[in-house]
């Protein structure tokens, strides 16, 4: 008889479904890797900034040593950029690490975590990983319903996760609504504001959430170098919170959770304004390209504030999987979102103009089949 190892709440975890790697799709469908287009994981279509490559090359010589466990230089650069003291910053092995660390540091088994339907998959995993109760509020127009989230907070709630912009739906909550929410959340609840796509916001939507951290001791802002900064493979993210929270996060995180190359590359990327600018412009143009094509194809989509769009490719529950399979056969990798409860939809990242065009052509073919 097989023994059941581990606690029940760990055995109940459904593993995270990552975007398919290019090599895997090539093997599975007998395609040439060079002809495959991956628009599945909201990665930066320009890849790694040259500035970051140079910084990593310079850092290679020191790889025989452990990384700086305190990330002195990177925290210094972030402290300057966000105008907060360096000891308000926690580095993470990607911001997924930050989200998990927050759950470990702040939530006891049996206590509850509040998050929204159709929000980032990691929230459910982080909650499950600590044996927390999930309080999932229904989405409003595919985004967060902050009033419902506020009302859902219980005495045993310790954490609220908010993705802004949200993944996989691309919805956005304006600054005023978040501030209003923060002002009303009970002080025993920590709000994790996950801003993985913040850098893609248009100037009129931008706000500096680090400023709110100064006002709200129960706010933790999470950011990443994986999207706009083009460093997804390096795994580096960070949290900004007041010292009482930061101190707790630092007790839970692995001492060397961010490696030396990642620290060096992140500093370079943070200061690479041209790279960010180029990415933002490409994103705006690519979004228009998608929206025009979806309108032409008569497809519903959720207006997006990130570097991806959620598009409805059919009316039956098999639509997402069916169109996805056709796209894969044509060498285009996007993200099915059936696991999010959106089986009629696909999420597609914004790539370079020619990649977007290839996706649109493949989608047109898929829909005609
Ligand atoms: C991509 C993403 C992240 C970032 O993940 P990393 O671990 O930093 O690569 C975090 N939150 C959301 C909502 C995301 O979409």
Cα-flanking dihedrals φ and ψ of residue 97, to 5°? Answer: -60, -45
What global pTM score does this model have? 0.96
**Which atom of ligand 1 lies at the shortest distance from residue 225's CA?**
8
- Sign of dihedral through CA atoms 330, 231, 124, 28? positive
8-47+274-368 and 50-270 in the same fold: no
The pLDDT assigned to 231 comes to 98
Which stretches of the chain drop beneath a pLDDT of 70? 1-2
Mutate to test the pocket of ligand 1, among 19, 162, 194, 257 (most ligand atoms within 8 A of CB): 194
- Dist. CA 96 → ligand 1 center (Å): 6
* 321 contacts 181 by C-beta, under 8 angstroms: no
CATH code linked to domain 8-47+274-368 = 3.90.1150.10
The pLDDT assigned to 2 comes to 66
Measured from CB, residues less than 6 Å from any atom of ligand 1 are: 42, 94-96, 120, 163, 167, 194, 196, 224, 226-227, 232, 237
The pLDDT assigned to 16 comes to 79
The four Cα atoms 253, 259, 264, 270 give a dihedral, to 10 degrees, of -40
- Sign of dihedral through CA atoms 69, 127, 158, 147? positive
DSSP 193: E
Cα-flanking dihedrals φ and ψ of residue 224, to 5°? Answer: -140, 155
The pLDDT assigned to 208 comes to 92
- CATH T-level assignment (fold) for domain 50-270: 3.40.640
**Could you state, in order of their start, the residue ranges of all structural domains in the chain?**
8-47+274-368, 50-270
The pLDDT assigned to 289 comes to 98
- Dist. CA 232 → ligand 1 center (Å): 9
């Amino acid at each position: 008889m097989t023994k059941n190892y581990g606690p029940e709440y760990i055995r109940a975890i459904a593993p995270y479904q990552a975007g398919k790697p290019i090599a895997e799709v090539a093997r599975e469908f007998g395609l040439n890797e060079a002809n495959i287009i991956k628009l599945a994981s909201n990665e930066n279509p320009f890849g790694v900034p040259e500035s970051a490559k140079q910084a990593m090359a310079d850092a290679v010589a020191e790889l025989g040593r452990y990384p700086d466990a305190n990330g002195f230089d990177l925290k210094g650069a972030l402290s300057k950029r966000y105008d907060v003291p360096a000891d308000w910053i926690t580095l993470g092995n990607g911001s997924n690490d930050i989200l998990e660390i927050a759950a470990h540091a702040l939530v006891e088994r049996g206590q509850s975590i509040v998050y929204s339907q159709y929000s980032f998959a990691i929230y459910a995993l982080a909650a499950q990983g600590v044996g927390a109760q999930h309080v999932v509020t229904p989405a409003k127009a595919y985004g967060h319903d902050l009033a419902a989230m506020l009302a859902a907070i219980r005495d045993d709630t310790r954490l609220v996760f908010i993705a802004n912009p949200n993944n996989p739906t691309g919805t956005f909550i304006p600054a005023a609504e978040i501030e209003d929410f923060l002002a009303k959340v009970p002080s025993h609840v920590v709000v994790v504001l996950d801003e993985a796509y913040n850098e893609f916001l248009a100037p009129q939507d931008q706000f500096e959430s680090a400023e709110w951290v100064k006002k709200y001791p129960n706010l933790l802002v999470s950011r990443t170098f994986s999207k706009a900064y083009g460093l997804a493979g390096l795994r580096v993210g960070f949290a900004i919170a007041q010292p009482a929270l930061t101190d707790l996060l630092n007790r839970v995180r692995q001492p060397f959770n961010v490696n030396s190359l990642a620290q060096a590359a992140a500093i370079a990327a943070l200061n690479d304004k041209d790279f960010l600018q180029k990415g933002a412009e490409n994103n705006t143009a690519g979004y228009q390209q998608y929206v025009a094509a979806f309108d032409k194809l008569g497809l519903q989509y959720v207006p997006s504030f990130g570097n991806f769009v959620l598009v409805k490719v059919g009316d039956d529950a098999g639509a997402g999987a069916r169109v996805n399979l056709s796209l894969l056969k044509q060498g285009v990798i996007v993200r099915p979102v059936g696991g999010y409860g959106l089986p009629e939809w696909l999420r597609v990242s914004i790539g370079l103009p020619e990649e977007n065009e290839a996706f649109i052509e493949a989608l047109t073919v898929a829909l005609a089949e």
